[in-house]
């Protein structure tokens, strides 16, 4: 699965039993939901105000000291270190759902395979892949897929050591998503009614929080609408319509989950390849674009790394001298180990020096194929950045694939696993959805509410460890552009050691009862900092 949290966030933050109780029980009862633990733990909360509109579009690039926002000091790095120096060009492979290569803010930063003539049906550069001009698409026309534990069940192989675990996971997920579906449908209905009712009462569609707060009424229905709206604003939503949109997206995702991801008889593999046979390597096609506009994940990730900077359009990527290679291997559902392993090898063999992997899953039947590919990347001086996942879990306990170790013994010194930060420094620094792990998460970086490119020249805000990993891939690219002599393992070392140490305790996994010192949930104990990284890179490359 891609590790964007755009749909799942609704589920996590809403704790739907609470919401539906609130909504169904009409007014009142918001005290529990509105109370926040922040004041109880923070000694010195630096930033208590909300992000401004400008900050919302680039908070990941801001500076903790200057802006009191836990960004990566990218702006400061450009202003004080990089200035107009572009450095060497770095190829960054994005193994994801495909990229809109015609996007106005990405079309200038694409990798092009110079040895390959487009659309002639020939493998001009003899790398085995026909017409791979901007990358490769291992999925072919594939889009929806089962989850890996559903595949294990569907195989009917009860001797599979993972079978019982897969069955338990399936039963739990199926019940959960069936429940979500009902809750989302009911909540959407009520939020829509409240939105329409308030718009009618206020006689405007774009009413604000202040408009709602000013309403004084004895009308029971209207009181209920006001209560619903206040709840929605408490979720950090700007408007009721935004929330309605989020619920609709969430409902679509839940329906897909039930119809495809959790459907034991669904077969999404339409590329003609046997995912359990590693002897065939050349399948799929050269179309690296998303199949549907809604398949926006890879485009968003690519923009975080490399969206054209300061061109007066959309977003700014972290790095300024990158060529993005699109390797489409991540469907809406669980990616196949074989596709991932071959995608990594394709990236390495075709010149990438950094790979971003914003995907992951909890079962991996051929994890050794992927681990071998990760070791191959390390051996060939390639950095592999992996998103830690959005299950609010400790990945030292609950496995998340692809990983870089067998029983704690690492097979790569260039693999960096990244957790996601929220925009506010203090106890709420960790995004509630983010996985964590003292041994298996290396660093944290901005991941919640990140603004970037989406297909067809559009832009959107998405959250997830999926958004944190490409920020770090961007920092790695900056380091390799400016200091090309550094090895991939040194780039990892720099990113790990040069970040800002967080001395305070944080809420972990979004659970306010689970508060731990930051250093106990991440290997480096640090949040990534581009400015410091470049200073350390300069020292190390001497
Ligand atoms: Ca080729
Ligand atoms: Ca060709
Ligand atoms: Ca731009
Ligand atoms: Ca590791």
Ligand 1 center–CA 403 separation, angstroms:
29
> What is the CA 105 to chain-centroid distance, rounded?
19
Ligand 1 center–CA 506 separation, angstroms:
48
Ligand 1 center–CA 113 separation, angstroms:
8
Nearest Cα to Cα of residue 68 among 94, 42, 100: 42
Ligand 2 center–CA 355 separation, angstroms:
24
Ligand 3 center–CA 83 separation, angstroms:
17
408, 413, 415, 418: CA torsion to nearest 10: 70
What pLDDT tens digit does each residue of the chain (542 aa) get? 776 653 333 332 222 223 333 333 222 222 222 223 333 334 454 555 678 999 999 999 999 988 889 999 999 999 999 998 989 999 999 999 999 999 999 999 999 999 999 999 999 999 999 999 999 999 999 999 999 999 999 999 999 999 999 999 999 999 999 999 999 999 999 999 999 999 999 999 999 999 999 999 999 999 999 999 999 999 888 999 999 999 998 999 899 999 999 999 999 999 999 999 999 999 999 999 999 999 999 999 999 999 999 999 999 999 999 999 999 999 999 999 999 999 999 999 999 999 999 999 999 999 999 999 999 999 999 999 999 999 999 999 999 999 999 988 999 999 999 999 999 888 999 999 999 999 999 999 999 999 999 999 999 999 999 999 999 999 999 999 999 999 999 999 999 999 999 988 999 999 999 999 999 999 999 999 999 999 999 999 98
Q: State the Cα–Cα distance between residues 167 and 77, nearest whole angstrom.
A: 49
Q: State the Cα–Cα distance between residues 491 and 292, nearest whole angstrom.
A: 35
Angstrom distances, CA of residue 444 to CA of 249, 418, 496, 528: 27, 5, 10, 6
Ligand 1 center–CA 528 separation, angstroms:
36
Superfamily of domain 53-106+298-540: Peptidase S8/S53 domain (3.40.50.200)
The dihedral sign for the CA sequence 100, 106, 108, 110: negative
Provide the residue ranges of all domains of the chain, joining segments of one domain with +: 53-106+298-540
Ligand nearest to the CA of 105: 3
Ligand 4 center–CA 488 separation, angstroms:
14
Ligand 3 center–CA 452 separation, angstroms:
9
- Please say whether the beta carbons of 98 and 298 come within 8 A: yes
Q: State the Cα–Cα distance between residues 476 and 529, nearest whole angstrom.
A: 11
Residue ranges near ligand 1 (ion) with Cβ within 5 Å: 116, 123, 125, 127, 129, 132
pLDDT score of 9: 33
- H helix or E strand, kind and range, residue 169: helix 163-202
What's the length of the chain? 542
Ligand nearest to the CA of 118: 2
Among left, alpha and beta (phi > 0; psi -120 to 50; other), residue 510 is: left
Q: State the Cα–Cα distance between residues 16 and 9, nearest whole angstrom.
A: 11
Crossing angle for the helix pair 240-256 and 220-234, to the nearest 10 degrees: 70
pLDDT score of 25: 27
Q: State the Cα–Cα distance between residues 375 and 488, nearest whole angstrom.
A: 12
Ligand 4 center–CA 410 separation, angstroms:
6
pLDDT score of 41: 36
Ligand 3 center–CA 81 separation, angstroms:
21
Q: State the Cα–Cα distance between residues 383 and 377, nearest whole angstrom.
A: 7
Ligand 3 center–CA 330 separation, angstroms:
25
- H helix or E strand, kind and range, residue 326: strand 322-328
Ligand 4 center–CA 404 separation, angstroms:
6
Crossing angle for the helix pair 220-234 and 163-202, to the nearest 10 degrees: 130
Angstrom distances, CA of residue 138 to CA of 104, 113, 157, 270, 455: 25, 17, 27, 11, 20
Token reading at 371: 């681990």
Ligand 3 center–CA 413 separation, angstroms:
33
Q: Which residues contact 22 (CB under 8 A, 6 or more apart)?
A: 29, 30, 33, 227, 228, 231
Q: State the Cα–Cα distance between residues 136 and 278, nearest whole angstrom.
A: 17
b/e code 377-397 from CB counts within 10 Å (16+ = b): bbeebbbbbbbbbbbbbbbbe
pLDDT score of 24: 30
Ligand 3 center–CA 94 separation, angstroms:
18
pLDDT score of 513: 95
Ligand 3 center–CA 64 separation, angstroms:
23
Q: State the Cα–Cα distance between residues 396 and 325, nearest whole angstrom.
A: 31
Confirm whether pTM is higher than 0.95.
no
Ligand 4 center–CA 415 separation, angstroms:
7
**47 class by beta-carbon count within 10 Å (0-12 exposed, 13-18 middle, 19+ buried):** middle
Ligand 1 center–CA 121 separation, angstroms:
10
pLDDT score of 16: 28
Ligand 4 center–CA 409 separation, angstroms:
8
Nearest Cα to Cα of residue 302 among 450, 88, 143: 450
């Amino acid at each position: 699965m891609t590790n964007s949290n755009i749909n799942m966030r609704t589920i996590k933050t809403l704790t739907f039993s609470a919401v539906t109780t609130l909504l169904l029980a009409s007014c009142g009862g918001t005290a529990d939901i509105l109370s926040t633990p922040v004041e109880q733990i923070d000694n010195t909360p630096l930033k208590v105000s909300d992000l401004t509109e400008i900050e919302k579009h680039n908070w990941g690039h801001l500076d903790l000291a200057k802006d009191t926002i836990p960004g990566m000091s990218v702006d400061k790095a450009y202003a004080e270190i990089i200035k107009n120096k572009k450095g060497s060009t770095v190829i960054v492979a994005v193994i994801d759902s495909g990229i809109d290569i015609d996007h106005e803010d990405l079309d200038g930063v694409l990798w092009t395979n110079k040895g390959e003539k487009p659309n002639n049906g020939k493998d001009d550069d003899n790398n085995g892949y026909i017409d791979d001009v901007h990358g490769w698409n291992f999925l072919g026309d594939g889009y929806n897929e089962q989850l890996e534990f559903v595949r294990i069940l569907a195989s009917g192989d009860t001797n599979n050591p993972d079978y019982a675990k897969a069955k338990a996971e399936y039963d739990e997920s199926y019940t959960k998503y069936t429940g979500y579906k009902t809750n989302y449908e009911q909540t959407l209905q009520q939020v829509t009614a409240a939105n329409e009712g308030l718009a009618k009462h206020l006689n405007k569609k774009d009413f604000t929080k202040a408009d709602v707060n000013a309403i004084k009424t004895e009308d029971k229905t209207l009181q209920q609408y006001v209560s619903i709206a206040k709840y929605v604003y408490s979720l950090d939503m700007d408007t009721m319509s935004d929330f309605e949109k989020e619920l609709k997206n969430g409902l679509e995702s839940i329906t897909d989950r039930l119809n495809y991801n959790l459907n034991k008889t669904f077969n999404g593999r339409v590329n003609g390849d046997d995912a359990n046979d590693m002897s065939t390597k050349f399948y799929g096609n050269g179309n690296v674009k998303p199949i549907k506009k809604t398949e926006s994940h890879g485009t968003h990730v690519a923009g975080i790394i490399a969206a054209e900077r300061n061109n007066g359009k959309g977003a700014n990527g972290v790095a300024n001298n990158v060529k993005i290679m699109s390797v489409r291997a991540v469907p809406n559902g669980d990616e196949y180990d074989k596709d991932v392993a071959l995608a990594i090898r394709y990236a390495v063999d075709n010149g990438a020096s950094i790979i971003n992997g914003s995907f992951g899953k909890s079962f991996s039947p051929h994890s050794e194929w992927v681990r071998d590919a990760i070791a191959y990347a390390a051996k060939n001086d390639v950095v592999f950045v992996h998103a830690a996942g959005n299950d609010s879990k400790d990945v030292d306990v609950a496995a998340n694939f692809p990983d870089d170790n067998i029983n704690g013994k690492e097979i790569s010194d260039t693999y960096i696993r990244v957790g996601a930060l929220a925009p506010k420094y203090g106890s709420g620094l960790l995004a509630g959805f983010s996985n964590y792990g003292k041994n298996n998460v290396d660093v944290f970086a901005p991941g919640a509410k990140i603004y970037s490119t989406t297909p067809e020249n559009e832009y959107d805000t998405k959250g997830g460890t999926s958004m944190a990993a490409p920020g770090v891939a961007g920092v790695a690219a900056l380091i390799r552009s400016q200091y090309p002599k550094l090895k991939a393992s040194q780039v990892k070392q720099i990113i790990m050691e040069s970040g800002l140490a967080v001395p305070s305790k944080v809420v972990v996994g979004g659970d306010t009862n689970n508060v731990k010192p930051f250093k106990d949930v991440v290997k480096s104990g640090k949040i990534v900092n581009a400015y410091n990284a470049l200073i350390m890179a300069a020292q190390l490359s001497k």
